[in-house]
Structure 1
């Protein structure tokens, strides 16, 4: 299984266009050891030719142009994209669909709650119906049930519903439904190896723990170092947990959780522009290095 990190940043990317926090100022001026990041998305493939996009960020055009393996290979038009699979309906994971409006109908995989939001409160699917169109495939929300995506066989996908927030535009904000936000187990049955991907992980529930323990590689929520990180940076008052993200530091934080796992390779993704781990020379990044926890970057490749 091939995994390519198209984008590793949280909403707004890094540097964020209107942000002058320590990190954003530092990466623009070259005063910190950091590299820009686009908004979170990955691509997975069994053969390196046909790919499933997991989320479709507003940065998707530049992400695809920077990834030759997914470029059209024959004829005047084409694509290596077999399908798009969404883990939620968040703007930073869905608005790139508008960029993919040309050509054949999109093969779109998402849960029924996500599809509801994308056809009502934020009707992207309805808009795309006036262009190339969309073929919707309902993703099951039973962790005991796996599914395949034509063109990416033999990969098997398993949806793992998570406790996290629905998007701010959703009528279910504050009252999440089973399937508003999912993690994904992606397994190659030929190698027996699997990836667990969860860019929005608010807490480690009992049914989620075994998927993390049994993974060969984790790509999990790296949004914020502290719960009050945005306030510390002077750019807002929202807590990480209010936005559906488990902070890395402190008791019960992501670092403590990952330190308790022996099997998987551990990689943080969906990193907010305020997070000090973006600076490779920061004490927080040093703590991750000592723990064997990696920080995803755009263009990173993983082979399982």
Structure 2
């Protein structure tokens, strides 16, 4: 199984266009050793030709141009993307669907009923795409049961609900429902190798811990280092957990979870521009290195 990290940043990417925080200012001026990142998305394939796209960020066009294996191979119009799976309806995970509107066939999109509703009402991308390529919606189960996707051989996908918040434009923003956010296990049928993918993760529920423990690679939420990181950066008073993201540091944080629960390769994705781990010389990055935890970057290739 091949996994390609198309984008590893959180919403806004790194540096964020209007941000002058400690990280963004230094990466622009060349004072910091680190990598710029576009907004988070990955692609998974068993044969390197037919790909399942996870989320479609606003940066999708540049991400696809940077990845030859997913580009056209046959005919005048073509793509290696066979289907799209959305883990939520957030702007930074869905706006790129508009960039795929030139598709010569309806987009096969797998997502929960809650996401379908959000993208048909509060943020009506599905309605807009009906005027272009159209959408074939495929519901995903929320109980961890598996399914295969036509056109993508040798992969089986398992999805489960995560505790989270719907986006601000969702009709049920203040009334959480199962399916607002999901975690995904991708298994290669022929080898049994497993990836666990959850870029938005606010709580380690029992089924999440079990999925992490059984995975050969865990690719999970690395948004914030500290619970009050945004306030410390002078940006806003929003707290990590209130935004649906488990911080890396502190008791019960992502570092403790990954080191005690996950047995395979451990990688953080969806890194916010304020997170000190973006600085490769920072003490926080050293802490991750010593714990055997990697930080995803655009173009990272994972082979299981």
* Range that drifts further, 280-289 or 228-237: 228-237
Instruction: Quote the residue 1:207 is aligned against.
Output: 207
**Structure 1 partner of 2:14:** 14
Q: Is 2:235 the counterpart of 1:235? A: yes
Deviation at 1:51, TM superposition (A): 0.3
3-state secondary structure, aligned to 1:78: coil
> Structure 1: any 5+ residue segments left out of the alignment?
none
Q: Is the 8 A contact 2:88 2:180 kept in 1?
A: yes
Q: Partners in 1 of 2:156 and 2:131 — Cα distance?
A: 32
CA distance in 2, matches of 1:299, 1:78: 22
| Matches of 2:89 and 2:149, distance apart in 1 | 20
Measured in 2, the distance between the counterparts of 1:247 and 1:175 equals 23
2:94 alignment partner, SS class: helix
Aligned-residue offset at 1:175? 2.0
Moved more, 166-175 or 89-98: 166-175
Q: CA deviation at 1:149?
A: 1.0
Cross-structure match for 2:43: 43
5 Å-filtered alignment, 1:273-288, equals 273-288=273-288
Equivalences for 1:54-65 in 2 at 5 Å? Answer: 54-65=54-65
Give me the whole-angstrom Cα distance separating, in 2, the residues matched to 1:126 and 1:16. 29
Aligned to 2:107: 106
Corresponding position of 1:91:
91
Deviation at 1:75, TM superposition (A): 1.2
Once the two structures are superposed, the pairs formed by residues 262-281 of structure 1 within 5 Å of their partners are 263-281=263-281
Query: How far apart in 2 are the matches of 1:119 and 1:223?
Result: 27
Structure 1 residue 174 displacement after superposition: 2.8
- Quote the residue 2:258 is aligned against: 258
Structure 1 ranges of 4+ moved more than 2 A: none
Does residue 176 (structure 1) correspond to residue 176 (structure 2)? The answer is yes
Pair 174,119 (structure 1): closer, same or farther in 2 beyond 3 Å: same
Report the 3-state secondary structure (helix = DSSP H, G, I; strand = E; otherwise coil) of the residue aligned with 2:288. Answer: helix
Give TM-score, length-normalised by structure 2. Answer: 0.98
Shift of 1:262: 5.3
Q: Give the corresponding residue for 2:122.
A: 121
Aligned residues: 303
| SS of residue in 2 equivalent to 1:208 | helix
Moved more, 149-158 or 287-296: 149-158
Instruction: After superposition, give the CA deviation of every residue in 1:65-112 in whole Å (9 maximum; x if it has no partner).
Output: 000000101111100000110000000000000000012211111011
Q: Within 5 Å, give how 1:72-91 maps onto structure 2.
A: 72-91=72-91
Residue 231 of structure 2 is aligned to residue 224 of structure 1? no
Instruction: Output aligned runs, 1:282-297, within 5 Å.
Output: 282-297=282-297
Alignment-derived partner of residue 191 in structure 1? 191
| Mapping for residues 131-170 of structure 1, pairs under 5 Å | 131-143=132-144, 145-170=145-170
Normalised by the length of structure 1, the TM-score is 0.98
- The answer for unaligned runs of 5 or more in structure 2 is none
